[in-house]
Structure 1
C-alpha cells in the first residue's frame, strides 16, 4: 500500500495527532479518498485556514506548554518533544523564563503560548514570547492560527512519511 492509500484508510482518530481540532479531522476525513500527497496537503492547508477560533482553541488543548516535555508515548507527544527539543534542553534560567512567560501569556490570553519551535533556538523562542505578550487579542489570534497551521502541516508531512 502506498502512502496516499494508507492515509486514505487511517482511522479518523489518528489524524488528531496532526491537529486535534475536531472540525479539521472531520474535513480531512470527508475529503477522502485523496488522489495524491499534494491533494492531501492542499486539503489540510485549506481546512487549517478555515478553522474557527473555537477550532483553534480545541487544537491548542492538545499542545503542551513550550519548554515542557510532552508526556506519553503517543505520536503527537513524540512529535511535540522533537519540535521543542531546543526549548526542552534549557538551562535553569531559561526554564524559569519560559515558565514565567507561559504563565503571563496564559493569564493574558487564556490559552497556551503556541510557536512553531522546530529549528528555533531558546533565545528566539523567548524573544518571540516576550514580543507576543505585547499583542492584544485581535493581533494575537491570527499569529496563533498561523503557528498552528505551520505545526500541523509539519506533522502531516511526518505522518505521510511514516506511512506505507
Structure 2
C-alpha cells in the first residue's frame, strides 16, 4: 500500500495527528484531514500551501510551539518525541558547530524570543549552524510583524519537507 493510500485511509483523528507532525497548527492539520482523500502527492502539497495561506498569526504562533530551539538537541528528545527524528535531521548542521557558534545560537535565541515573543524559526535543512546564526542576527533587525511573516514562511518550507518525509519514508 502506498503512503498516500495509507494517509487517505486513516481515521480523522489519526490523520490530524500525522499532519500535526508536519505542522503544529491545529487549524491547518484539521483542514488537511478534512481535505482527504488526496489524488496525488502534488495534491497534498497544493492543499497544504493553500490551507497555510488561510491561516494567521495565532496559527503561526501555535505551529512555532511545536519546534525546539535551533541547536537545542536535548529538548528534541524530551519534548518533541513525535518529530524528534525529523528535527534532528533538519538541524544536522548544528551537530558539527563550534562551541562559539553554539553559544551564539543559544544567546541569540534568547534575545530573539525576548524581542519577538516566539522562537527563532528557520528551515534548517541544508544550513550550517553558522548560516543559521547569521540569519538569526540579520532577522533581529526586522519589525515584529514582518518577522512573524518571515517565520510563517519558514514554517511553510518546513511543513513541505515534513510532508515529503511523511509520504515517502518507510
TM-score, normalised to structure 1, is 0.94
Among candidates 136, 143, 146, match of residue 136 of structure 1: 143
Matched, 1:6 2:6: yes
- Equivalent residues of 2:97, 2:130 under 8 A apart: no
**Greater helix fraction, Structure 1 or Structure 2:** 2
Q: How far apart are residue 67 of structure 1 and its match?
A: 0.9
Structure 1 residue 127 and structure 2 residue 134: aligned? Answer: yes
The residue matched to 1:29 in structure 2 has which SS? helix
Report if aligned partners of 1:20, 1:62 keep a CA contact under 8 Å in 2: yes
Corresponding residue to 1:84 among 91, 102, 108: 91
Distance in structure 2 (CA, Å) of the matches to 1:118 and 1:49: 22
Q: Which runs of 5+ in 1 are unaligned?
A: none
Match of 1:31 among 28, 31, 35: 35
- Give 1:142 deviation, angstroms: 1.4
SS in 1 for 2:22: coil
Greater RCO, CA 8 A, separation 6+: 1
Instruction: Give the one of 129, 135, 157 matched to 1:150.
Output: 157
Q: Offset of 1:162 from its aligned partner? A: 2.0
Aligned pair count reads 163
Q: Secondary structure at the match of 1:116?
A: coil
Query: Alpha-carbon deviation of 1:41?
Result: 1.0
Q: What's the Cα RMSD here? A: 1.4
Residue in 2 aligned with 1:94? Answer: 101
